Amino acid sequence: MVKAIAQDDLLGSLLKDDSSKVKENITTATFKSTRIVNMQSVEMTGKGNLEFMISHHFGNFWKEGKGLQNLSQLLGFNAGTATTYLSFDYSFKDWMNFGFAMTGDSKYETWGKFRLMRQQSGKKNIPVTVDYFALASVDAAYGPSPDDNTWNRFSFMHQLLIARKFSDNFSLQLMPTLIHLNYVPYGINNTNNIFNLGLGGRYKLSHKTAITFEYSHQFNGYENLLDESASAVNYVPDLFSIGYDWDTGGHIFQFFLTSTTSSQNITQLSSNLNDYKKGNFSLGFTINRSYGIKKVVQTH
């Protein structure tokens, strides 16, 4: 009897010591997908998983001065200017993700995403999740490259993705961005380096649905530029997007409205021609699906 009491006291002491230890509470599901709408989110596919994504941007659903032609084009669905984005993401580690995409117009891109820190509380108190995202794009269209230099076909994007999940329903992400264009036409206001700052977020409506949104502002390289023919051109510095996400269990489906018809981030953030003030928005949808490629064995 004395022995049993001693064992109970020892077990109770161990449980008390274990309960007094500070736990590590890591924040998960800041966003439901690796993208918010057009832009990357801090999320990655799980280790050993491959994500396949299809994103489709239709034409402008209303063009100024086109009148009834906008109706005949079925609000952009039948405008003949749609672009399709096909991508593959694979995660070798929980903190490292690589991808490849076909972005339309004979352009391709590849990228790496690396988690620098993760929001958590308890044992460590880290208020935000931070990822570094680096992307390279190439124009593989047939014909000589600008100035007959293949390297001029390349452009690059660097982003910091800084996100915080404020509650189970609401998350925000800040996206400072640098775009480097290896080639720009000669002109007094043209520049190889373009700076953007973006803000994105997610508000969960239910267990399976959410509203996502993005806004990005381009700080330079959009006014009074010269193209290859020395014609003046102006781009629109602001990009707006809003999406409705639906998690079907096997897929995540998103229907969105955005002020760009391009499917490529570099084009969206450096040479957007759609003026939201004139109603130049387009409709689109995204479907993504993850597949377990490598079996991950968990140890306890």
- C-alpha 144/C-alpha 42 separation (Å) is 38
**In 10 A of CB 265, how many CB atoms?**
29
As a whole number, mean pLDDT of residues 92-114 equals 94
pLDDT at 297: 45
Q: Please check whether residue 212 is in contact with residue 176, taking contact to mean a CB–CB distance below 8 angstroms.
A: no
By percentage, how much of the chain surpasses pLDDT 90?
60
> Hey, is 297 helix, strand or coil?
coil
25-292 has which CATH code?
A: 2.40.160.40
Specify the residue for token string 């609000």.
Answer: 75
- C-alpha 78/C-alpha 59 separation (Å) is 8
Task: Name the pLDDT band for 2 (thresholds 50, 70, 90).
Answer: very low
- With CA atoms as reference, report the closest residue to 57 among 238, 210, 278, 239: 239
Q: What digits encode the pLDDT tens for the residues 262-294?
A: 999 999 999 999 988 887 888 999 999 988 886
| Per-residue CA distances from 79 to 71, 75, 187, 272, 288 (Å) | 10, 8, 33, 18, 25
Show the CA angle centred on residue 44, arms to residues 41 and 50, nearest 5°: 130
For the chain, the domains span: 25-292
DSSP of 109-138: EEEEEEEEE--EEESS-B--EEEEEEEEEE
Q: What digits encode the pLDDT tens for the residues 111-160?
A: 999 999 999 998 889 999 999 999 999 998 876 655 667 888 999 999 99
Handedness of CA 143, 147, 148, 150 (dihedral sign): negative
Which range, of 61-75, 78-92, 180-194, averages the lowest pLDDT? 61-75
Handedness of CA 88, 196, 256, 211 (dihedral sign): positive
